[in-house]
Structure 1
Amino acid sequence: MAGKVLAVLLPLLLCLSGLAGLLLLCIPTRDVREPPAYKYGIVLDAGSSHTSMFVYKWPADKENDTGIVSQHSMCDVHGGGISSYAEDPPGAGRSLVSCLNQAMKDVPKERHSVTPLYLGATAGMRLLNLTSPAASDSVLSSVTETLTQYPFDFRGARILSGQDEGVFGWVTANYLLENFIKYGWVGEWIRPRQGTVGAMDLGGASTQITFETASQAEDPANEVKLQLYGQSYRVYTHSFLCYGRDQILKRLLAGVLQKWSSHPCWPIGYSRQVLLKDVYMSPCTSAQRPQDYDVNTEVTLSGSGDPILCQQLVSDLFNFSSCPFSQCSFNGIFQPPVVGNFIAFSAFYYTVDFLRKVMKLPVTSPGELRIAAKALCNESWVKLLERAPGQQARLADYCACATFVNQLLLQGYKFDEHTFPSIAFQKKAGDTSIGWALGYMLNLTNMIPPDQRNFRKGTDYGSWVVLILLFIVVILVALAMLFCFARSSKSQSAI
């Protein structure tokens, strides 16, 4: 009996299996792309006060010639910016070694030779290049020598223009907010078709404002046209050199030395030894520089904590009296009216964050910003130390910074009761730092060709469903016949 069942079962199973195999051969296939590998890029943001390294990554395929880039890791370089090594150029290169060694670990070893490495220097090096082109060249040569010793694909070290810095910061902000493109829940890239945000950056030596505008700029130097993710953008941008945080503080010190014996923007109870060389060697203070002065002279200055005089001192930094265009920000620079939402980062963020978190003051309107700046300038040194004991290095300068931010945003850029609430003071968007480096990387990925992706044979979803059902039927038939065979054997044994 068992032999008869097997004689019937085996040919049937073989027949069904052969039929399934034949169907499998007949089902049409198509080329299926394997998921792309990641590419990496490294950008060194060589600012006026410090250098930061950002490692970015993106899939090897691209969307409309612009890579989908995300921040992989970052590293802050110890010490000052590379421009501070003007008298010791080799030190500029040595300062980058620690972070570059980290990049060796962060980027997979097999990708080292094809990972582009860039260094972009900003306003600090722009100033150094103005005062001493030879020193600037020596610093760039030093960092270039260091960067070429690593196995990455070094693409150069250069000084960015103020326009580049502003536009790339704008690109970064809008990219992180997914205003250009986003990955939809259905698994496809979509363009949100929404407005962009303006970007305001307050660095150590310059400040930038950049926003999209519908009208043509009256000054062509302030207009940039961009093509990103298949869309065109007309952008207004301007960079104010010598209006960064560090240079503003030097210019205020120079003004104090000309007019007063105490610093109205420093708190009462605070004093500092000021080396005249540190004040007057900057090109930003050249107009205030005495004809004859001893660079090694030190002057002791104390704070008077006078918000009215501090505001007057800060106002002297701006020129609102002349405008060759229909409308200007300050210093005769054309600017259309600010429209839409804005993100203010770098020192904008740190200043407003201090007012909110340390001083516990709201900053949601022009009036509140004025009141907060005044309250900060009225605070004594002792009280400030009690409020922020861990911030002693920069604590005395917050009054000047808050007063300057107030003047720049309200009188300079013309934000008012209606437009000021549209400013978001942010340091990051998600886990990514806001600044020009990511926008720089997004732009540079256009120069990197996409990898040729491997193909494998794949079958359509519907064909796989048919095959799976067929194999299930084969298995069920086999199980049924084995069950019948088992029952038959058991019955014979019982007899």
Structure 2
Amino acid sequence: MARFSALPIAPIALLLFGLVGILLLTIPSQDVQDAPGFMYGIVLDAGSSHTSLFIYKWPADKQNGTGVVTQHSECTADGGGISEYAGRVGEAAQSLRECLNQAVKEIPKEKHPNTPVYLGATAGMRLLNISNPKQSDQILAEVGSEIRSFPFNYSGAVILDGQEEGAYGWVTVNYLLRNFIKYDFVGRWLSSGGATVGALDFGGASTQITFVTQEKVENEANRKELRLYGQDYSLYTHSFLCYGQNQLLKRLLAQIVKSQGYAPEVSHPCYPANFTGPLDMKNIFDSPCTEQYKPEAYNPQKNWSLTLRGSGHYENCLGNVSELFSHDGCPFSRCSFDKVFQPKVTGSFMAFSAFYHIHSSLQNVTGVKVKTPLQLENATKKVCSMNWSQLQMVSDKKNIDRVRNYCASSVLLQALLLRGYGFDDSSFPDISFQNTAGDTSVGWALGYMLVLSNLLPAESAGVRKTLTVGAWGVLLFLFIVLLVICVFLLFRARSKRKKGGDENVI
């Protein structure tokens, strides 16, 4: 017993540790190849006011993996939305050329053939398809032909319906916030099981609201079921055509002009005091959204203009804006406006597109932090009370149209969120106004590409990290070196004990 206790403990422990390590490393494991670079995808967001091209990328070995798609770059095409080129043959396609050329330069040449390109047109083209289906089809054919001339994998140009636009925006928001999956401490992607975030989109021609609800969706047209990463999501979603920022501003103008009898000079309560400017009536009545406000004798071929004078009156502005939203005759248990069913808003929301820009401008111009309905009202009253000279001093002078609409846009945001969608003192603070999440622009484009390219698996992901062959080899080498050192120390200790024993005998 004494002889056993005299053995050196440290070398024996190291020896055992090395042997265990080697045994663990010899257990069969899955070989992992080095990642073969990135794959790319392109989405053209053909909105009502402009077209944006987004380039996304993801590791090539994660085609059906999780949480790996990022935005590589973004390009905004010159000019307006493709719907604005109706009747001007070839110009819609030409407007996309510069951004597509940029994509050719930014994406590696060897990746071009396998890079899918999707074009999704939204409310601007939905309106054109209503007023002139032939011109709508022609524009889609033109832009499709233009995209095919580039060395990418053309995957179609379509007009999204409003519910699709809302659902894809919701997918984008929750994908970027990692609400579908999370990365655990042992290196696996797992379903997060957490709450999702609702999506509020305010475009040029339409607005969308989408969120998960536990309530019964009384109108089937507003219900959408999704299964992502093994989880089922029951969504409420609705898109209001003609309720985007640009179309609402047109409708507001048309309503005010009509209410004042189409007079040569019109007072606009939402424009700042001391503002004076001309208005070409063609710019109002060129949309199906303003059809009801047209005078009986209106002739688009004749020049007709009038003078607008701002009065900067908040209460009158709010009164005119409120008339754009009908709250009468709801056929369901509850409605948002215009007889559209909507359950009570629940949970957190992300508001993007024009919601973000209006909210940001309102805070910058007034210096008021808009985090509650009362703060929103106070900031809106303050911006509406500023005259034209004051607004120009504290805002971007380059964009006169945007500056003169600060009051009108703020009142629209207030009416839409509070009276329209029903946000109140308890739910409004749960709205996050954002334009990006990380380095990625928030909108429907990413969600659109993820769904169409099958980058969002319907079933639960079981991806995990494993050691590469190189890393495994290094560890095995270290354990062998450790084992050799242990054996050397044991022989050395044994030699010293033997020598010591001989000396004792002498």
TM range (shorter): 0.7 to 0.9
- Structure 1 position 301 matched with structure 2 position 300: no
Q: Report SS of the residue matched to 2:367.
A: coil
Q: Report the Cα distance in structure 1 between the residues aligned to 2:59 and 2:287, rounded to whole angstroms.
A: 44
Q: Report the Cα distance in structure 1 between the residues aligned to 2:27 and 2:177, rounded to whole angstroms.
A: 43
- Structure 1 position 323 matched with structure 2 position 330: yes
Structure 1 match to 2:233: 233
Aligned AA for 1:336? P
- Structure 1 position 431 matched with structure 2 position 436: no
Change (3 A) 1:207 1:28: closer
User: Displacement, 1:223?
Assistant: 0.6
User: Displacement, 1:378?
Assistant: 1.2
The count of residues paired between Structure 1 and Structure 2 equals 453
Structure 1 match to 2:453: 445
Q: Report the Cα distance in structure 1 between the residues aligned to 2:125 and 2:485, rounded to whole angstroms.
A: 71
Structure 2 match to 1:138: 138
Q: Report the Cα distance in structure 2 between the residues aligned to 1:39 and 1:340, rounded to whole angstroms.
A: 35
Change (3 A) 1:421 1:456: closer
Aligned AA for 1:290? P
User: Displacement, 1:28?
Assistant: 7.1
Aligned AA for 1:342? F
Aligned AA for 1:368? Q
Structure 2 match to 1:394: 402
Q: Report the Cα distance in structure 1 between the residues aligned to 2:188 and 2:34, rounded to whole angstroms.
A: 14
Q: How does 1:7-86 map to 2 (within 5 A)?
A: 30-37=29-36, 38-62=38-62, 68-86=68-86
Does the Cα contact within 8 Å between 1:66 and 1:443 map onto a contact in 2? no
Aligned AA for 2:90? P
- Structure 1 position 272 matched with structure 2 position 277: yes
Does the Cα contact within 8 Å between 2:351 and 2:431 map onto a contact in 1? yes
Does the Cα contact within 8 Å between 1:120 and 1:160 map onto a contact in 2? yes
Q: Structure 2 residue aligned with 1:291, among 280, 290, 296?
A: 296
User: Displacement, 1:128?
Assistant: 0.5
Q: Report the Cα distance in structure 2 between the residues aligned to 1:194 and 1:362, rounded to whole angstroms.
A: 29
Q: Structure 1 residue aligned with 2:351, among 335, 340, 344?
A: 344
Q: Report the Cα distance in structure 1 between the residues aligned to 2:117 and 2:396, rounded to whole angstroms.
A: 39
Change (3 A) 1:184 1:323: same
Aligned AA for 1:117? V
Does the Cα contact within 8 Å between 2:163 and 2:237 map onto a contact in 1? yes
Does the Cα contact within 8 Å between 2:272 and 2:311 map onto a contact in 1? yes
Does the Cα contact within 8 Å between 2:66 and 2:455 map onto a contact in 1? no
Q: CA RMSD in A?
A: 2.8
User: Displacement, 1:448?
Assistant: 10
Aligned AA for 1:145? S
Q: Report SS of the residue matched to 2:291.
A: helix
Does the Cα contact within 8 Å between 2:396 and 2:403 map onto a contact in 1? no
Structure 1 match to 2:16: none
Deviations 1:85-135, CA, capped at 9 Å, x for gaps:
002131111111111111112211111000100000000000011000111
Does the Cα contact within 8 Å between 1:170 and 1:199 map onto a contact in 2? yes
Q: How does 1:75-154 map to 2 (within 5 A)?
A: 75-154=75-154
Deviations 1:301-322, CA, capped at 9 Å, x for gaps:
1111111111111011011011
Q: Report SS of the residue matched to 1:446.
A: coil
Change (3 A) 1:88 1:205: same
Q: How does 1:460-479 map to 2 (within 5 A)?
A: 463-469=476-482
User: Displacement, 1:445?
Assistant: 2.2
| Structure 2: segments with no counterpart, 5+ residues | 1-21, 261-265, 458-466, 490-506
Deviations 1:331-378, CA, capped at 9 Å, x for gaps:
110000000011111111111111111211121111111121121111
Range with greater deviation from structure 2 (294-303 or 90-99) = 294-303
Structure 2 match to 1:208: 208
Q: How does 1:341-380 map to 2 (within 5 A)?
A: 341-380=348-387
Q: Report the Cα distance in structure 2 between the residues aligned to 1:68 and 1:226, rounded to whole angstroms.
A: 20
Q: Report SS of the residue matched to 2:284.
A: helix
Deviations 1:136-157, CA, capped at 9 Å, x for gaps:
1111111111100011000000
Q: Report the Cα distance in structure 2 between the residues aligned to 1:27 and 1:368, rounded to whole angstroms.
A: 65
User: Displacement, 1:62?
Assistant: 4.0
Q: Report the Cα distance in structure 1 between the residues aligned to 2:64 and 2:141, rounded to whole angstroms.
A: 35
Does the Cα contact within 8 Å between 1:67 and 1:446 map onto a contact in 2? no
Structure 2 match to 1:334: 341
Range with greater deviation from structure 2 (242-251 or 291-300) = 291-300
Does the Cα contact within 8 Å between 1:324 and 1:332 map onto a contact in 2? yes
- Structure 1 position 417 matched with structure 2 position 422: no
| Structure 1: segments with no counterpart, 5+ residues | 1-22, 450-454, 477-495
Structure 2 match to 1:483: none
Q: Report SS of the residue matched to 2:120.
A: strand
Does the Cα contact within 8 Å between 2:350 and 2:434 map onto a contact in 1? yes
